[in-house]
Chains A and B, each alone.
Chain A
Amino acid sequence: GAVVSQHPSRVICKSGTSVKIECRSLDFQATTMFWYRQFPKQSLMLMATSNEGSKATYEQGVEKDKFLINHASLTLSTLTVTSAHPEDSSFYICSARDGAKGGNTIYFGEGSWLTVV
């Protein structure tokens, strides 16, 4: 079964509103989670690294004020897309490392489809 869960799996929001996507590690603690975005027929693009109890580290070109990341606990990270626009419509995916399992396996969530209308 899934060890990293995302919610919601699909969301439609109006342009200009904000939407929050949750990423949970279900049976392990994750001090670090990663957020990706994927457009149709393209590969995953890393947006940011989410660190528990501290600020996220954003990749070059990703607006930190638009994509707010909060990692308040060892099992939950959230991505908030603020003032969403149609071009933000994409598949958002999170991942987390299970350090207890030898430190080498990264698990991914099921992804969240965001459609901005």
Chain B
Amino acid sequence: DAKTTQPNSMESNEEEPVHLPCNHSTISGTDYIHWYRQLPSQGPEYVIHGLTSNVNNRMASLAIAEDRKSSTLILHRATLRDAAVYYCILRVNFGNEKLTFGTGTRLTIIP
């Protein structure tokens, strides 16, 4: 599986935007970039995914570099409820492929 690299931890002030980076220099042409987050004592929660173009949904935005070797998850206005571990995962879009989790980024929101 292609590997992703994320900072171990980040902090952000409440109500400010947060940019969570992810490097995936060995990404292949069939890999989608997925983001999940895990709140304390809960299972992971899907956030967003994309292939080449930037993506927006109600939770976040995903900015993908032109060469696809990196991406950034953007939380436009962080709240305390966004404090979680954020995982950037590469996955091909063929049915039942497993998700392999790295160490993720632990996001702390400062009130």
Contact = CB atoms under 8 A, between A and B. Distances in A.
Interface of A: 4, 6, 31-32, 34, 36, 43-46, 49, 91, 93-95, 97, 99, 103-111, 113
Q: Which 8 A-B pairs have the closest CB atoms?
A: A108-B43, A32-B96, A44-B101, A111-B43, A108-B44, A43-B101, A93-B43, A109-B43
Nearest to B106: A41
A107 B101 contact: no
Nearest to B93: A104
Contacts of A46: 98-101
Interface residues of B, number: 21
A49 B44 CA distance: 17
Contacts of B68: none
B96 A49 contact: yes
Given A34-B98, A97-B95, A104 B49 contact: yes
Contacts of A109: 43
A106 B104 contact: no
Contact of B99 (A99, A106, A111, A113): A106
Contacts of A103: 93, 95
Interface in B34-50: 36, 38, 41-46, 49
A21 B45 CA distance: 20
Nearest to A94: B43
Which of A44, A46, A97 has the most chain B CB within a 10 Å cutoff? A44
B102 A43 contact: yes
Contacts of B100: 46
Nearest to B99: A106
A36 B38 CA distance: 13
A97 B96 contact: yes
A43 B49 contact: no
Contacts of A113: 41
A104 B43 contact: no
Contacts of A44: 38, 44, 101
A49 B43 contact: no
